[in-house]
Structure 1
Amino acid sequence: MDSEVQNLIKAKFAYPHLLTFPMLEEAFLCSTLRLAPEWLAMRISTSLNRLILSMLFLFLFSSQGWGLDPKLTRFTTDLRRQQLFQLTESYCQQRLQDSRLPHDLRLQLTVELARTFAQHATTVSSEQQTGLYQRAEELLTSYPRQGLNELEELYLTVNHHLLQLSKGEAAYWEAELYSTESSRSSAREDLTAVIEPASELISQTETWSKARTIATTSAKQSLLTYEELLLLQREFRLNVARTLLRKAQLERGAFSETEEQNNIEPSQSQLTEEYRSSTGLIEVFQKQYEHPDLYFDSHLVEAEWELLLDRYQALEKRLVLLRQRQLSPQIRNSLMSLEARSLLQQHKIVEASKKLHQYQQSGARSEPELDFLTIRAFLELANIAEQQQDQNLKTRLMENIKARLIVIEPGYWAERAKQLFQRKEQEINYGADLQEQIDQAATHARAEKWEAAVTAYSEALKLAEERNATALRAELLYQLGVAQYNLQSYEEAAKLFRQINSEFPESKVRARAHLMLAYCTGRSGNLAEAMTLLQQHREEFPSSATVQEATRLLADLKRGSREYATALPLYRELLDSPLADAKLLESLLNVYQKLVFEDEAVSIEPEKLLSLFRQDFPDALQPVSADNLQRQALIRLTIASLILAVPDEQNNQITSLLAPLLEKQNYNAPTFTELRPQLTFLYSRFLLDSSFSSQQFDEVSRLPVELKLSLYKYLVASPKDQATYHSLRELMERQLQNQKAELSPENQREFLLITLMRKYKENDSLTTLEELKQLELKLKLAPEQIRDIALRLTDSDDPKRLDAALDHWKRLEGLHQAGSESWFETRYYQIALLQKLGNAEEAKKLKRLTLLLHQLPANSAWKSRFDSL
């Protein structure tokens, strides 16, 4: 029978009143339908009875509302223990949707859901962990604390600390997997950061005392009973103790299967102090067998400390003591793991191998960690056999190890076993000196000492060539190429990656080498060739683990080359891949933005683009807040622009889309500054494309004054001969005139300048030239602005405007150095205007005086124009 089905059945019959929601009933029934017909025949009547009873419970709960559920924690804990995480998450989320939930039950369900996310994270890859931890963090930090009593506040705080401790534990195991100084340093920082506040909370006796008082004296049913609060406190102390242990193990590298030592070696006194702090938190639990989980877990933590401190006799006595108890398979495996690690640590390889082999042959259910330890012990035996030249034993051991590598459950321990096997196999086959050289090179690479890494990998490559290690040569060439790449020696690195592709067509690193060749080419500045290589990579290695990274890089390069229509399908291809992180979604959103606002949407029909956008961002629209303003603005502006471009879409959607962005606090926010021009352009189009109603007049009146100025500026710069345009522009100008005091001095000046230039441009009959001149003098215009006005006035047949133009050119003359190109321009227009106004003699006199006092440069653009006067 399928294990998942078995677990569902156990949960269903253990908690009939909890599994009553339609979704969970469906999950249960769908799972049971996969069972053999004969099993269903035996269970059908019982199942129906249970289902009827559970529907009665559902009716009772529905009619009375939910109350605190004392079985909830045990129910969700059991589901998590059986790794039914999705079922637990669905159950909690379904109940949290009930608006009738009292706040204490809502708090209980929120915490259980966060715990489920956190425990689920321990069973997935590091890439998936981040999202689950974020969801748990958001649940606990966003829960409203106002109105919580001391017990509820402590319950929420402790569970938040437990989440942080869980993240620290995950960082520890990740550091042990990658075994790099940077990962260990990062994990040490993470562990230290979570230990200190958690330890401080443990020592706050008054906080715990107040919570205990509520748990024991509350008139109504409290969130936790006294016993449940005590268990929570003990669980918290146990987790802090374990985290102190992980920090010490990490600093000493005690759990690592490699011989490499860390740069930071803790002193014995420091270890002893941490040991006392850790065990002091949990030693009392070792005397309380009434809580088996706490009892065994506290013993296991102290046993780990004894192993870390090389106290082998104490560890052996503890293992004997614990084995006298009734043990679960999980605890039995943990004890075997401790014993095997102790023997390996004491270099008792043969004894460790025998015990592990016998344990697994005894019929006990093994775990990946024990499989890993067996592989580790057998590799050590194979190394000894190689040294003793016992090829028969070595061959049998290596065959056994390879078989174990095939059947070991995929995951963390399988990855560590693979790494260890690769390293030890090389040492056995090619000699310890070559492996030592490779380890030294890897150490330099992890420390980012790339020059030393290049030297060490080059030496290792020579040894590999001497010993005909073909497969190893390809790997070393690749690592040498990576080191050269990090030294920014892109041409040298490219040569090595090309060598791999030409000489080692069957190598496992060929796909990675081909991808790195594309990176080198791009870094060298040849982006076109890099894109060609990446496209070749997608075609030549379609099933490789590197193809998604190549697609991502190709999409980024296409976007950087402004080939947005080509980049779009590449990004969309990655949406269901592990690379679909927040950064990729931002890149995809940016591509949609560019297609919409840089007039390249012609290559993709707006209807199709809008449909694709809605597929890619189905739940993108969220209430706008200060935290998500920039992202929401991008999304809303993109959708609104596409709606405007699609004839069949309802433009009234645009009002609701843009309304939050038009609010003053959002429009004036610094994060929105870069997007204001897009909003101005889009909102102007929307207003101009609409029939301008009285309601829209009211909407425009309520806009932020800064947006009105931007709209007015846009309208003046993009004139249209239509009634809506003139109505809107006049409305903007009138309202800005009335609200001028609300503008900053800079914006006031900009408004007056735009108005001034518009009046000159349109020959506004409502304002006299003298009034405009006074406004000019008040604004203290720059020379180029005066010149712009002068040119507009010059292009006229109205004598008054021509006189005003002459005055402007005279003012400009005084602002330029005599004899310069700009100065000659002012004199030219003065002479031309005098002629046009009928003052030929004065014009002739001014021309003669100009050319007499100042000589035009031979290559001056004004020479021929002066000759034509």
Structure 2
Amino acid sequence: MEGLRQRRLFELAEKYCTVRLAGAQLPPVMQGDLAVELIRTYALHAANSPPDRRAELWRLARMAAAEFQQQNPNHPRGILIRMQDALTLLAQGELARQELEAGATDPAEVESARKALRDASKLLAELDKELASEIPLRRRGQPKPDELTADELTSLQHNAFHQLARAYRNQALLYDAKSADQVAGLTQACELLAQPLTVLGPDEPLAWQIRLDLALCQRLLGKWEAAKEQIEQMDREGVDPAVRLRARAEAIRVGLASKDLRQTQVLLQEGLKGRTLEGATSADYDFALFEAQLAMWRDAEQAKDKLTAKTFQDQSLNLAKFLDETHGPYWGRRADQLLIRSQPEGAGAGAEILSRAADNLYLKKEFEQSVAAYDRATEQARTGGNVAGAFELAYKAALVQEQRQKHEDAARRFRALAVALPAHQEAAAAHLRGAWNEAKEAARDADAEQAYVAMLAEQIATWPQSESAAQARLWLGKWHMGRKEWAPAVEAFAGVTRESLHFPAAVAAIAPCWQEHLRSLVAAGKKTDEEAERAAHWLEAAILGAEGKLPEKWTATDRLSALEMAKILLDYRPDKYRQAESILQTALDNGGDAPAAWQAEVQSQLVLAIAGQPGRRDDALAMLAQIGQASPEQLLDLLSGLSSVIGRSRKDVRPQIAGIQLQAADMLWPQRTKLAKDAALSLTRIRAEALAATGKRAEAMAAFAALAKENPDSAAIQAGYAELLLTGDAASIKQAIDQWRRILSRTKPRSELWFKAKYSVALAQFKLGQKKDAAAVLRYTLELPPGLAGTIWQDKYEALLTECER
């Protein structure tokens, strides 16, 4: 077990113990020993783990003790389990105290450290009381099988004194240095340690350990000579080598505490010549050498002896690395913490060292301490005039917080860094990263939304020409889009320049926003001419650029801009149909290997642009006929595109376009047997829709009824038939309700068709005068979680509900 722990194979050691304890019936002594080893292993595992893993390991250590005692209330070795449980609390409190002392944790955590130490002291005091009562009884009688002897219990009591004194010492060190409370606690620890020494022989191992702790307490009380006397008794022939090394470690600390740097340097040099003694090593001794090197480094810095300071600096860094690699994370972490706390004062003297220590802490997942180290390194770099270094270090600290998902603090750090150094080449990017973190925070806290928007606005105002500002404009535009604030969304996207890498995304985003913005003006009864002209002009500029020339080679963004520009002109500027035709034809001529879907849509819009001009209906038909002769499939794609055009074109133009569509469908009708089955079905549906759009209702009804009967699984045909029924008389509308309900029964809930079917049922009921029934359908769908927020249906449902409630 000890070998596994030394190699820091804690999980393997824990598994070994748990498997053995859960196995066949064990002798009581072995069972007790395994339980003690399991508790000890969990505690050591916790001490060698990052902060975010410790709590669970401390809990497992204490749970192992509690379960053993619950399952074995009369176990002959139960007192050893209780002793180890107390030592778990003591180790937990001591580690917390050490990290508080090193500035590695929040000072607010001092109370949790005190509580662990108080609880440990209470358990140890109870054990002492129990032992004081049990030892005389055990001496008078023969111990039961597997019970500890009176001498073993006495040794355990001495150890309890020793550990209780250790608890008092740690509690005392949580008070201000040299305060009355600290002095009282250390004095009490000394008195407690002195008691076992009156009965223990000088060569008993426990006496050595107690003398070491006594020397430590005397050093802390400033009693240097008394401490040295104890050390001299430990560093002699006949004493265990590991104990002697610990005594030498304490001798170094006495020299440091008494400011005897000359003697400390002698001890340091002796230690550096050989860290081992008779094959034994000591992590505590190596750590004391590290403390001495730091002190020498500080002294050389104060004496402005740069050469000597550099020597001790390098030695300190090497020994810190050695501690981590040789003695494990616990000692490596303590070395990093002390390195950070012990940096020499002065203009940037330790920024590089602090940075390296912070990097090490980060790699060990000691994130809280890593951030604190980066902060100190940043301040030192800034003090030393190293602006670039300060920026990089502050950026690293913010990145750590981002990784920890502490987005609010990360955003604050990135913003502060960028605002403090706005001219830095990475300032804008850092600020944008702060905005990204603020967005993450806003996702879980709505109150952070305004801070997010404010950061985006600040980014745009401070670095208006940067790529990061272009990205901020995209994010700001999307934020407004999500709130259906179309005009601000347009303004945000429009700010992205044609030279930006984000321009294609801006064009793709602004197009639907222009359309929604113009629709909102129509809904509000406002004029659209000026805004439509502004939209068309922006999209035209997106194609022509600053020089006002057509691109030599058209990109997907150019093609999209042309198509969207034409759509706006055709929808809102009937006087600009000729201009729409021109840009569409130009785009088509320069389309190159453009996707077929884009070409079909452009051709559909081109037919609309031609047909909408006085006296040019025949030109539109000729164009369709030419396409049909070349490729029936292409003409079918074009007819499908015209269906969507009809749906969004002006009411006064719809019948004319539908008539052209019907004529083109009739051109293609004789060739339908040559089309694939699905294509022939599409042609039949398109022709039926065109019949309906041109007012030929009876023919359309007959066509749709036949289609619906022959194609019961076609959602598009069934919905088309239902829509046509909804435009008829009362009997037809009742039939439409049945049709929509059949569609609902076969449609996935909350899909687009499902929303449409629900709405259409309510609309049919409204038309029949069944306003209460319609309102119930609408209200239920609006209120059923998650509701319709964020969907295109919310406004439609709410508008119809308002009509129903009048």
After TM superposition, the score normalised by the length of structure 1 is: 0.41
Question: Larger C-alpha radius of gyration, 1 or 2?
Answer: 2
After TM superposition, the score normalised by the length of structure 2 is: 0.44
